[in-house]
Amino acid sequence: MSPLEPFGARLRRAMDERGPLCVGIDPHASLLAEWGLDDDVAGLERFSRTVVEAMADRVAVLKPQSAFFERFGSRGLAVLETSVQEARAAGALVVMDAKRGDIGSTMAAYAEAFLHPDAPLFSDALTVSPYLGYGSLSPAFALARESGTGLFVLALTSNPEGGEVQHAVRADGRNVGATMLAHLAAENAGEEPLGSFGAVVGATLGDLSSYDLDVNGPLLAPGIGAQGATPADLPGVFGAAVRNVVPNVSRGVLRHGPDVSALRGAAERFAEEIRAAVTAV
């Protein structure tokens, strides 16, 4: 296996050159309907091809949500394969939002499905869940290092239900979310210009100054746009770590489709607003 340049370095360069924006590819039924598409494989393919055509040569990151493709079975996965390959060929980094988490050989198989260069769904990074224990992710970390890819570990998510796990306090007095951040900081120690192992931290969570978000890795931040957060909110949420934030916008951009120029315009506006907010710190 010939590894890529580490994901963190590639991501830092992409955000500096293209702007710090991740656009989700979330073809759920209601959004297909808004585009005038049927909720079937043909609609899925039209939607995905349009987003890739509009975005892949200009945004830093595209993030397909695998569930919306998986629901159509093998034909949906075929669309996902094509979308990932075409997006990467056009220069976007692809973060596969699959939130996989398991133990042992099963976790290794999930990692191989998305992080092995020979895999049809090979992506630049993968979202993973650590809630079978952070150590259960070891096979994914090992393959990511070997292949030059990255991971985004769920740490402080924007959904209200997440708090019952992530805010639970351990015997050492630190809560679970903070523990995940500390693990990631250790994974990224000494990496330049940016580590390859990041956290998912919701942009809607308000003041997070009680957490050490400086993990020397990227912070994937859902919640901009339809969920209520704005680019101007980012410095207040992420503080000094804001330069490493990868804000994710899905519906806020996608609702402007299927017109390609309108999609591009929406993405450019978000990217400029985010860049202005980040550089003002």
Question: What was the pLDDT predicted at 194?
Answer: 98
Average pLDDT of the segment spanning 180-207: 97
For 90-140, write each residue's pLDDT tens digit.
999 999 999 999 999 999 999 999 999 999 999 999 999 999 999 999 999
Residues with Cβ within 8 Å of residue 191, at least 6 apart in sequence:
6, 8, 216, 217
Q: How confident is the model at residue 166 (pLDDT cuts 50, 70, 90)?
A: very high
Contact criterion met (CB below 8 Å) for 276 and 235 = no
Average pLDDT of the segment spanning 50-69: 98
Q: How confident is the model at residue 281 (pLDDT cuts 50, 70, 90)?
A: low
Coil, helix or strand at residue 233: helix
Average pLDDT of the segment spanning 71-86: 98
Average pLDDT of the segment spanning 43-53: 98
For 147-159, write each residue's pLDDT tens digit.
999 999 999 998 9
- Residue at token pair 């909720």: 39
Token pair, residue 262, equals 């309108």
Contact criterion met (CB below 8 Å) for 169 and 214 = no
Tell me the C-alpha distance between 125 and 116, whole Å: 11
Q: With 70 as the cut, is the pLDDT of residue 56 above it?
A: yes
Average pLDDT of the segment spanning 198-224: 96
Q: How confident is the model at residue 70 (pLDDT cuts 50, 70, 90)?
A: very high
Contact criterion met (CB below 8 Å) for 216 and 185 = yes
For 7-34, write each residue's pLDDT tens digit.
999 999 999 999 999 999 999 999 999 9
For 212-266, write each residue's pLDDT tens digit.
999 999 999 998 877 788 999 999 999 999 999 999 999 999 999 999 999 999 9
Contact criterion met (CB below 8 Å) for 111 and 122 = no
Average pLDDT of the segment spanning 36-65: 98
Q: What is the dihedral angle through the alpha carbons of 85, 86, 91, 94, rounded to the nearest 10 degrees?
A: -50
Catalytic residues: 99
Q: With 90 as the cut, is the pLDDT of residue 3 above it?
A: no
Coil, helix or strand at residue 220: strand
Q: What is the dihedral angle through the alpha carbons of 103, 109, 114, 120, rounded to the nearest 10 degrees?
A: -160
Contact criterion met (CB below 8 Å) for 200 and 151 = no
Long-range contacts of 253-258 (CB under 8 A, 24+ apart): 253/23, 253/55, 253/225, 254/23, 254/24, 254/26, 254/31, 254/51, 255/31, 255/34, 255/226, 257/34, 257/35, 257/47, 257/50, 257/51, 257/54, 258/35, 258/36, 258/37, 258/46, 258/47, 258/50
Q: With 70 as the cut, is the pLDDT of residue 2 above it?
A: no
Cα dihedral across residues 205, 209, 212, 213: positive or negative? positive
